[in-house]
Amino acid sequence: MKKHIKGFGLGAFFAFAMGTSALATECIAPANPGGGWDFTCRQIGKILFDIKQVDAPVQVTNMSGGGGGLAYAHVVNERGSDPDLIVAASSATTTRLAQNAFAGMTADQVRFVGAIGADPGVIVVAKDSPFQSLNDMVEAIKADPGSVAFAGGSAAGGFDHLKVLQVLKAAGFDDIRSVKYIGVDGGADAVTQTVGGFTQGMTGDMSEIVGFLKSGEVRALAVLTEDRVPGFEDIPTAREQGLDVVAVNWRGLYVPKDITDDQFKAWAEKLQAVADSAEWKEAMAANGLAPFTKVGDDFQNWVNGVVAQTVELSKEIGVLQ
Amino acid sequence: MDLLSNLALGFSIALSPFTLMLAVIGCFLGTIIGALPGLGPSNGVAILIPITFSLGFDATSALVLMTSVYYGAMYGGRISSILLNIPGDEPALMTTLDGYPMAKQGKAGDALVISGVASFVGAFLATIALMLLAPYIARLAYKFGPAEYFALYLLAFSTLGGMASNNQAKAAMASLIGLGLAMIGQGQSGTPRFVHGNLHLMDGIDFLVAIVGLFAVSEVFVFLESHGKESSIGVKLEKVTVPVKELAATFWTMIRGSIIGFVAGVLPGAGASLGSFMAYMAEKSYIGEKGNFGKGDPRGVAAPEAGNNAAAGGALVPMLTLGVPGSGTTAVLLALLMTLNITPGPTLFTDRPEVVWGLIATLLIANFVLLAMNVPMVKIFVRILMVPPAILLPGVTMISFVGIYSLSGSSFDLLLMILFGIMGWLFRKMDIPTVPIILGILLGGSMEDNLRRAMTLSGGDPLYLFSSPIAVVLWVMAILGFVAPIFLRRYLRKPPAVTD
């Protein structure tokens, strides 16, 4: 019994430690500690305080569930006008919103205040693959859509799946429902399946493939950014190969919808300050993120465009009715 | 010798007083986290991550603390399985089957010592294998595609029928209920199923909620129903000695369990629960009808405990060498590594030898610490039994609620847990085993995902499922595992029938 009482105390301590709230800025990471959203909150939160954009240390709250949907519902329903609240978001947030995966909630129920870094999208093959360029692969799919299968870390219809489809659409291939895609448990697993020869291509983020690139087990056919990524200058962009697709997994924040325009602008400026700081540049380099800064109305407009495009693609592949 | 110089590097890191202290703290916390129903290794590790951030640990220290907690939890899970018939975490599920009957027969101490030693053997062998073979066996993951994984899960389910020996139909029904529950949520298809617009159900049902509900909460209902007179909790307590004879008799069981568990751990799609399950079922069919499985056979605690601890070590192989997590806990550890700026993958062993070898040396040390905590100190845990159920059960209930609430911080999971409690109580009345339900929830999702992936890759051709030698071998084993017990039982029952 003694142990159990001790253990209970321990559990209560953790529950308490996680549940405390302060009057200072709160950053909600809609996932468990350790993931990408958690990283966003902890890094941005730390730098905001370090460069004196906020007066008190930022409180990070982990609120996992529903792939980010629970936190979204919480912000929309209960914190709609809280000016001291920021929430970590990424491409997954907008993809899920566009695909109606948050139980009917829509992207216009919050304001997307900015992204200050991005994990570039990549298309990868095993080292012994016959494909030497992105166009080789596209031609093979055009000739026989069943001959090339892709693995990615997101579920069917998720962001990794959509990247491939965007590339194929840009190449003028419209029968995108015939493209084979399997969603596995994360990018590294997708690489494993591709190296093992079960799939012919892997679609994911740059950070997921760095180790395999170094060991020479895979080759990247294209990176889906505007320019080549610093540190990976030998990987051509899809644009260079005539396929105009930019798909990056951005890391950023949204804020409640009913804050004032001035408050929204203030957050945009603070985020810009974080993006300009040396500390953030260091954190980006260490985590395989490429520069990608869009804040304020500029970012909101860009998000609106991405959501619209995702809706269109999702309808075409039948993920969305 | 490369290996020796690497090990020397590892021990030079692990043997610093600070690292040693972290390992001891981690082992202790882990054992408690493992033993508490509702808190398993994966959420235990996840809960502790923010603490490593706020204390500003470097990569090696954070990793040492977390893996000690991980190994500790794998040891600790068995304690409540044996003493309370409530699995402390999901890999300890199989240990309830023989561990609790042993405790009822007054052999709780024996069961704890045997399972403690089995945990040590499993974890130790797995760490050695990790050290010697990691870069080579990681390649095993390249051999397993959707078809192979599907066959592996099929093998696991095919042996389920033989588990609840009293009534196979009830066991089959229970596993089907589990498989049905596994379908809830937004799985591989990306389409929400049986969610009814409820965001809490989007990620599916957490198996910990089901375990605590079916085992712990239902126990409380039984107790309440009998106005506090009846409870299966409350076992005879005799003097705790080291059962030398039984330890010797289960030695090969532990070795066999370790090997099976390790292989299951190395395969990213399998994991510790499958490892302990396969180890138990394999041992049961290997011993055959001569054994006393399900009624307190010491081999029934040795096999799964060796299996799940070996699987924990095995799961580190694909995590470190490929960056592919082989279990829920390694997924959390992987996320921790990424935040610490370490990208696990094929180059980790050459890029960051201090991290890898420091970790391996710590694991070796942690194993001895855990053996010391879990065998000589076992009496402390046995003393829990002297508390009458009227005091013990409310305590267990309270811990269950706190543990489950800490999973997601949502009261929805608490209601779900109570619902599972009612279900468990009803099923006990009908004598339907609950272990297959949990296994269905644990393994059903991955089994379905892999089938769907296989069908996508092949364009719907079922023959794809038999397209590799590995898959065919697994299918043959699955079919034999399903059919063999039926014939074997007839064959073995004949002789006594003649002599009668």
Prediction pTM value: 0.80
How far apart, in Å, are the Cα atoms of A80 and each of A19, A219, A296, B206?
20, 46, 18, 30
Q: How far is CA B144 from the centre of its chain?
A: 21
Instruction: Give me the mean pLDDT over the B443-458 stretch.
Output: 89
Instruction: Give me the mean pLDDT over the A39-49 stretch.
Output: 91
Banded pLDDT at A7 (limits 50, 70, 90): very low
Pairing of strands A248-256, A290-295: unpaired
Of A10, A39, A189, the CB nearest to B339: A39
Instruction: Give me the mean pLDDT over the A29-35 stretch.
Output: 80
Burial zone of B242 (CB within 10 Å; 0-12 exposed, 13-18 middle, 19+ buried) = middle
Residues in chain A: 321
Helix B108-137 with B2-14: angle, nearest 10 deg: 130
Residues B296-329: tens digit of each pLDDT: 899 999 999 999 999 988 888 888 888 777 677 8
Q: In the predicted model, is pLDDT for residue A13 greater than 70? A: no
Q: Within 13 Å and on the Cβ side, how many CA atoms surround B437?
A: 24
Superfamily of domain A120-223: Periplasmic binding protein-like II (3.40.190.10)
Least CA distance to A103: which residue of chain B?
B197
First to last CA, chain A: 55
Share of chain B above pLDDT 70, in %: 89
Within 8 A by CB and 6+ apart from B50, the residues are A17, A18, A33, A60, A62
Residues B104-126: tens digit of each pLDDT: 888 888 898 999 999 999 999 99
Q: In the predicted model, is pLDDT for residue B130 greater than 60? A: yes
CB atoms within 10 A of CB A273: 17
Query: How confident is the model at residue B61, as a pLDDT?
Result: 85
A33 to B50: CB separation less than 8 angstroms, yes or no? yes
Contact A26, A87 (CB under 8 A): no
Q: In the predicted model, is pLDDT for residue A35 greater than 90? A: no
Euclidean distance between CA atoms A32 and A42, whole angstroms? 12
Q: In the predicted model, is pLDDT for residue A245 greater than 80? A: yes
Banded pLDDT at B33 (limits 50, 70, 90): confident
Euclidean distance between CA atoms B323 and A192, whole angstroms? 9
B146 to A6: CB separation less than 8 angstroms, yes or no? no
Banded pLDDT at A16 (limits 50, 70, 90): very low
Q: Where are the domains of chain A?
A: 2-118+249-317, 120-223
Query: How confident is the model at residue B199, as a pLDDT?
Result: 78
Q: What is the ipTM of this complex?
A: 0.79
Q: Which position has the higher pLDDT, B239 or B341?
A: B341
Report how many Cβ contacts below 8 Å link chain A to chain B: 196
Query: How confident is the model at residue B379, as a pLDDT?
Result: 75
Query: How confident is the model at residue B34, as a pLDDT?
Result: 84
Residues A248-301: tens digit of each pLDDT: 999 999 999 999 999 999 999 999 999 999 999 988 887 778 889 999 999 999
Q: In the predicted model, is pLDDT for residue A21 greater than 50? A: no
Q: B284 vs chain A: nearest CA distance in angstroms?
A: 32
Within 8 A by CB and 6+ apart from B10, the residues are B356, B357, B358, B359, B360, B361, B362
Minimum mean pLDDT among A201-215, B158-172, B286-300: which range?
Answer: B158-172
Of A4, A197, A287, the CB nearest to B399: A4
Query: How confident is the model at residue B431, as a pLDDT?
Result: 84
Contacts of B391 in chain A (CB under 8 A): 1
Minimum mean pLDDT among A2-11, A151-160, A182-191, A237-246: which range?
Answer: A2-11
Q: What are phi and psi of B275, to 5 degrees?
A: -60, -50
The mean pLDDT value of chain A amounts to 88
A207 to B338: CB separation less than 8 angstroms, yes or no? yes
Contacts of A152 in chain B (CB under 8 A): none
Least CA distance to B197: which residue of chain A?
A103
Q: Within 13 Å and on the Cβ side, how many CA atoms surround B117?
A: 22
B402 to A12: CB separation less than 8 angstroms, yes or no? yes
Listed residue (B401, B395, B445, B33) closest to B213, CA to CA: B401
Query: How confident is the model at residue B131, as a pLDDT?
Result: 86
Query: How confident is the model at residue A253, as a pLDDT?
Result: 96
User: Which letter does DSSP use for residue A247 in this model?
Assistant: -
Banded pLDDT at A18 (limits 50, 70, 90): very low
A111: which strand partners? Answer: A255
Query: How confident is the model at residue B126, as a pLDDT?
Result: 93
Instruction: Give me the mean pLDDT over the A145-161 stretch.
Output: 91
Contacts of A193 in chain B (CB under 8 A): 145
A7 to B399: CB separation less than 8 angstroms, yes or no? yes
Instruction: Give me the mean pLDDT over the B326-333 stretch.
Output: 77
Listed residue (B405, B428, B44, B380) closest to B212, CA to CA: B405
Scored b (16 or more CB within 10 A) or e, A177-190 reads eebbbbbbbbbbbb
Place of tokens 């981690």: B26
Euclidean distance between CA atoms B288 and B102, whole angstroms? 19
Minimum mean pLDDT among A281-290, A305-314, B375-384, B432-441: which range?
Answer: B375-384
Query: How confident is the model at residue A9, as a pLDDT?
Result: 39
Banded pLDDT at B163 (limits 50, 70, 90): low
Q: A11 vs chain B: nearest CA distance in angstroms?
A: 6
Q: Which position has the higher pLDDT, A61 or A88?
A: A88
Euclidean distance between CA atoms A64 and A315, whole angstroms? 28
Contacts of B88 in chain A (CB under 8 A): none
User: Which letter does DSSP use for residue B374 in this model?
Assistant: H
Query: How confident is the model at residue B19, as a pLDDT?
Result: 86
Contact B290, B496 (CB under 8 A): no
Structure-block tokens of residue B363: 């694991």
Euclidean distance between CA atoms B437 and B214, whole angstroms? 9
DSSP secondary structure, B442-492, as one string: HHHHHHHHHHHHHHHHHTS-GGGGG-SHHHHHHHHHHHHHHHHHHHHHHHH
Share of chain A above pLDDT 70, in %: 93
Query: How confident is the model at residue A8, as a pLDDT?
Result: 40
User: Which letter does DSSP use for residue B352 in this model?
Assistant: -
Euclidean distance between CA atoms B467 and B151, whole angstroms? 11
Share of chain B above pLDDT 90, in %: 20
Banded pLDDT at B165 (limits 50, 70, 90): low
Listed residue (A248, A258, A205, A254) closest to A29, CA to CA: A254
The domains spanning A2-118+249-317 and A120-223 adopt the same CATH topology: yes
Angle subtended at Cα A272 by Cα B52 and Cα A77, rounded to the nearest 5 degrees: 70
A102 to B199: CB separation less than 8 angstroms, yes or no? yes
SS3 of residue B36 by DSSP: coil
Of B46, B343, B405, the CB nearest to A15: B405
Instruction: Give me the mean pLDDT over the A236-254 stretch.
Output: 95
Q: A70 vs chain B: nearest CA distance in angstroms?
A: 6
SS3 of residue A87 by DSSP: strand
The mean pLDDT value of chain B amounts to 82
Minimum mean pLDDT among A225-239, B219-233, B479-493: which range?
Answer: B479-493
Query: How confident is the model at residue B400, as a pLDDT?
Result: 83
- According to the 3-state scheme, what is the secondary structure of B148-179? HHHHHHHHHHHCHHHCCCCCHHHHHHHHHHHH
Euclidean distance between CA atoms A262 and A113, whole angstroms? 12
Query: How confident is the model at residue B393, as a pLDDT?
Result: 81
Contacts of A102 in chain B (CB under 8 A): 199
Superfamily of domain A2-118+249-317: Bordetella uptake gene, domain 1 (3.40.190.150)
Listed residue (A134, A130, A115, A149) closest to A223, CA to CA: A134
Pairing of strands B185-186, B192-193: antiparallel
Contact B421, B221 (CB under 8 A): yes
Residues A85-128: tens digit of each pLDDT: 999 999 999 999 999 888 789 999 999 999 999 999 999 999 99
Share of chain A above pLDDT 90, in %: 66
Q: A309 vs chain B: nearest CA distance in angstroms?
A: 18
Euclidean distance between CA atoms B190 and A92, whole angstroms? 13
Burial zone of B383 (CB within 10 Å; 0-12 exposed, 13-18 middle, 19+ buried) = middle
Residues B60-76: tens digit of each pLDDT: 888 889 889 999 988 88
